[in-house]
Every structure is written in structure tokens, then in C-alpha cells.
């Protein structure tokens, strides 16, 4: 047995090393994935949006990196655009607002949850407002209007078929799937 261990010691060392590395990575991933839970819960509570949905959007938009920047000027955890931020700042009476302030996780999730709530209300007459809201969050309400023709006005399955943006067509089910995942372990309604 000892001879067998000596002959394969590098393989054994490699297996032990990879196991340790995998364990470390899982710990880091878990910590990272929960790093913004406090601000997500606060924003969700304030705006009445399911925390699991807000967390799923944060996961997809920035992977929990508050310093994330998009290619079209969107920033922070929920990748907020300037126009959305300005509307939010006006509605919430945020004095002396600048878009740069959205790198603050609390402010960013507050703005993002406010916008999600606005979209969910806008599409509440559909069979699944989350699908329409996520499409609007990603591609804009104007495009959702273009895709909402015929039965797609209220039928989310038909709506998904009408989408002609491959990125949004992938975005909606990806975020929806992650939303369902978080609903199992994260508060499923505003606390």
C-alpha cells in the first residue's frame, strides 16, 4: 500500500490540491453572492418588489460587483442607465443627484427596485408581468411595446416568441431561472 502511495503521490497531491481549491472557490462564491443581501432586502422592502427578483437581476447585471460598468453607460449592481436614474432621483426627491452616485450599492438597488416595481405595475395585466418587466429592464419599454402584438399583448409565451433581440431572448429566461433559484433560499416576498 505504501509503495502504491509513493508511486502515485503526485496524483494524490493533485487531487487534494484541486479539492482544496474547489472548496475555497465555493466559499468565495457563496460569500460574494451574499455580499449585497442587506441592500437588496432594504430596496425590496421599500418598493414592494420580491427580493429574490431583485437579487436575480443583480446577479445577471453585475454579478454583485457594485463598481460594474456597462458598454452603454449603465452602472452599478443593477446597471442603471442615466435616464432611469434621473427619473428615479426626481420621483424620490434625491437632492443634487449625479449618475456617479449609483456606484453606492444602497442607492443603486433602491433605484433598480423602484424601476422594477414601475415595470411590474406597467405589465400587471399580462399573464406573467415578470417576463415583460425583465424584457423592458433589458431592452426598454419601447421594444416591449413593439413585441407586444396580437396575443403577445398579454400572453408571455407568445411575447417571448415575438422577441427579435437574441440578447433579451436569452436574458429573460436566464434571470427568471435564477429568480426561481433564489426564491428557494432568499426571502420570497418583501420583508
- Using the 8-state DSSP alphabet, how is residue 69 labeled? B
For cell 408581468, name the residue: 129
Q: How far apart are CA 133 and CA 141, in angstroms?
A: 8
E-assigned strand segments in 2-84: none
Q: Residue 174: CA atoms inside 13 Å, Cβ hemisphere, count? A: 13
For cell 466559499, name the residue: 27
Q: So which residues are the catalytic ones?
A: 61
Q: Which cell numbers hold the place of 107? A: 442607492
Q: How far apart are CA 150 and CA 160, in angstroms?
A: 13
Q: How far apart are CA 82 and CA 111, in angstroms?
A: 11
Amino acid at each position: 500500500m505504501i509503495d502504491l502511495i509513493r508511486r502515485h503521490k503526485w496524483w494524490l497531491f493533485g487531487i487534494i490540491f484541486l479539492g482544496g481549491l474547489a472548496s475555497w472557490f465555493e466559499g468565495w462564491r457563496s460569500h460574494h453572492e451574499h455580499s449585497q443581501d442587506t441592500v437588496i432586502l432594504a430596496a425590496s422592502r421599500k418598493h414592494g418588489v420580491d427580493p429574490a427578483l431583485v437579487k436575480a437581476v443583480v446577479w445577471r447585471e453585475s454579478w454583485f460587483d457594485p463598481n460594474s460598468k456597462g458598454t452603454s453607460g449603465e452602472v452599478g449592481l443593477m446597471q442603471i442607465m442615466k435616464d432611469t436614474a434621473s427619473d428615479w432621483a426626481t420621483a424620490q426627491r434625491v437632492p443634487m443627484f449625479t449618475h456617479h452616485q449609483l456606484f453606492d450599492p444602497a442607492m443603486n438597488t433602491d433605484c433598480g427596485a423602484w424601476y422594477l416595481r414601475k415595470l411590474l405595475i406597467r405589465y400587471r395585466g399580462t399573464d406573467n408581468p415578470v417576463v415583460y418587466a425583465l424584457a423592458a429592464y433589458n431592452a426598454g419599454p419601447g421594444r416591449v411595446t413593439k413585441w407586444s402584438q396580437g396575443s403577445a399583448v398579454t400572453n408571455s409565451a407568445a411575447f417571448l416568441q415575438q422577441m427579435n433581440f437574441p440578447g433579451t431572448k436569452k436574458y429573460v429566461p436566464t434571470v427568471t431561472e435564477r429568480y426561481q433559484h433564489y426564491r428557494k433560499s432568499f426571502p420570497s416576498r418583501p420583508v
